[in-house]
Amino acid sequence: NRDYYQVMQVCEKILKIDDKVPEVYNFYGLALQNLKRYKQAINYFSKAISLQPKDFSAFNNLAITYKFLFMNKLAYENFKKCLELNSSYFPALINFAILKKDLNEYEGAIELFEDALKIKPNPNEIKILFSLSELYEQKGEIEKAKEIIKKILDLNKSNTAAHYILSKYISYKKETKHLDK
């Protein structure tokens, strides 16, 4: 319900009974994060990690919080720790790929997005493919970007955004098949 204050109240009640439950600190941190109280959220995620050092989701949440604060080095380190604990944790793959893209680490971002694509079922497949296409375009690999856009159209023939992007790569003097579509 996005009632973050309610979440915090319930967490506080639980912590009065037992202050050694890492998941509760993680939930409390998420509530604070959503309220943009990032510095407080860091404390709760850190406490969750201190109680459960293998809680990869807490590392991901901590990294996201650092990213919100533009503390990219700390975000980077925590995404790495998260993926060391669980290399197929989908949220961290995506979040870390976005951070690497923001830092112009295109190869690393591509690798992470491709790893995320391997996870099935994948409701974000088209979004990830758009990100990959954009990264290849930024690297100047237009044919690879074009190939990925065609994959999107194989998945959804009426995706207007993909048709628009593909139209940037096509010379309609030479090819009219796409123009007809």
DSSP string, 85-111: H-TT-HHHHHHHHHHHHHTT-HHHHHH
Longest dimension (CA), the chain: 73
Cα-atom radius of gyration of the chain, to the nearest Å?
20
Say how far residue 78 (Cα) sits from the centre of its chain.
Answer: 13
Question: How far apart, in whole angstroms, are the C-alpha atoms of residue 22 and residue 137?
Answer: 42
148 neighbors 136 (Cβ within 8 angstroms): yes
Take residue 122 and report the two structure tokens written for it: 């994948």
165 neighbors 150 (Cβ within 8 angstroms): no
Question: How far apart, in whole angstroms, are the C-alpha atoms of residue 112 and residue 100?
Answer: 9
Tell me what pLDDT residue 171 has: 73
Give the pLDDT confidence of 14-68 residue by residue, as tens digits: 999 999 999 999 999 999 999 999 999 999 999 999 999 999 999 999 999 999 9
Question: How far apart, in whole angstroms, are the C-alpha atoms of residue 97 and residue 79?
Answer: 10
Q: What is the mean pLDDT of residues 148-157?
A: 94
* 98-102, 117-121, 127-131: the lowest-pLDDT one: 117-121
Minimal CA–CA distance to 98: which of 131, 71, 146? Answer: 131
Say what the pTM is: 0.90
